[in-house]
C-alpha cells in the first residue's frame, strides 16, 4: 500500500494496488477494509474481482477463539464501534445483569408505575442484624416498606447456629424457606421447618434461633 499526497491538500491518501489485493487473497481474506481516504487503482479492482474480494468501508469486526481472551482488532477500536457494541447490548438487555452486579443497591427489582414490585430474590444482599452479640451470624434485608407505599414491612432473615432474645413490637409473620427455626416461648420450644409459617403477636417475648442455617421471609405490621 502506498501513500500519495494530493495537490492543494496536506492530507495523505492511501493507494491500493493489485499487489496489495493479491497479498490479501493469499491470506484468505474475502473483505478488504478501506476508509474514505483510500484510492483504489483499476488493476486493484480487477485483482479483487479475480480473488473474490470485496472492498468495505465498515469497521472490521474482532475475531477471537472461544478458548482465548478476546483481542482488540489490529487497527484498534474507535469510539463509534464501542458505542454501537454497547448500544446493541443494551437494546438486548445484556448489560442489565452486569451493571446490577456493580450496583450498591441491596437488591434488583422491577417496579411498575401502578405500585407492583418484583424483587429478584437471588440478588438480595444481606446486612448484619444486631442481636447484641457480635459473634452471632444473623443477617437480614428489608425489601418492602413505607417507601413502596406499603403499610407493612417485609424482607428476608437468616440465622446460623445461634439463639437470641426477641420482643416483638408489632405483629410478625415468618415463612421458613430453608433450615430450622426454633422459637422458645414460656419455656417451651416450637420448631418450624422449610415450608412452615410462624406468627408472633405484638408484645411477644421469646427466644429466636436456629441449630443449623435458617432462612425465612418475614412480614411485619
Q: Please, what is the Cα angle at 167 between 162 and 172, to 5 degrees?
A: 90
- Give bridge partners of residue 200 from the DSSP assignment: 172
Identify the structural domains of the chain with CATH numbers, from first to last: 12-65 (no CATH), 126-220 (2.60.120.10)
How much is the pTM? 0.55
Supply φ then ψ for residue 117, to 5 degrees: -140, 125
pLDDT tens readout for residues 68-111? 444 444 555 566 677 777 777 767 666 655 555 556 789 999 98
108: alpha, beta or left? (left if phi > 0; alpha if psi -120 to 50): beta
129 phi, psi to nearest 5 deg: -100, 120
pLDDT tens-digit map of 142-190: 999 999 999 999 999 999 999 999 999 999 999 999 999 999 999 999 9
Query: How wide is the angle at C-alpha 163 spanned by C-alphas 178 and 179, nearest 5°?
Result: 10
Amino acid at each position: 500500500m502506498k501513500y500519495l499526497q494530493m495537490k492543494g491538500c496536506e492530507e495523505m491518501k492511501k493507494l491500493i494496488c493489485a499487489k496489495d489485493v493479491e497479498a490479501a487473497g493469499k491470506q484468505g481474506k474475502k473483505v478488504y477494509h478501506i476508509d474514505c481516504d483510500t484510492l483504489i487503482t483499476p488493476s486493484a479492482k480487477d485483482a479483487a474481482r479475480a480473488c473474490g474480494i470485496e472492498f468495505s468501508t465498515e469497521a472490521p469486526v474482532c475475531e477471537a477463539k472461544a478458548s482465548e481472551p478476546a483481542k482488540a482488532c489490529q487497527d484498534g477500536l474507535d469510539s463509534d464501534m464501542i458505542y454501537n457494541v454497547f448500544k446493541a447490548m443494551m437494546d438486548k438487555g445484556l448489560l442489565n445483569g452486569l451493571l446490577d452486579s456493580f450496583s450498591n443497591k441491596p437488591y434488583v427489582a422491577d417496579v411498575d408505575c401502578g405500585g407492583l414490585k418484583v424483587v429478584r430474590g437471588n440478588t438480595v444482599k444481606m446486612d448484619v442484624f444486631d442481636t447484641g452479640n457480635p459473634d452471632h451470624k444473623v443477617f437480614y434485608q428489608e425489601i418492602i416498606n413505607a417507601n413502596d407505599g406499603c403499610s407493612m414491612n417485609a424482607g428476608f432473615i437468616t440465622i446460623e447456629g445461634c439463639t437470641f432474645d426477641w420482643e416483638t413490637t408489632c405483629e410478625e409473620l415468618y415463612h421458613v424457606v430453608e433450615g430450622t427455626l426454633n422459637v422458645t416461648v414460656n419455656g417451651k420450644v416450637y420448631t418450624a421447618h422449610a415450608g412452615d409459617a410462624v406468627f408472633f403477636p405484638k408484645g411477644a417475648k421469646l427466644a429466636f434461633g436456629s441449630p443449623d442455617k435458617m432462612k425465612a421471609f418475614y412480614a411485619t405490621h
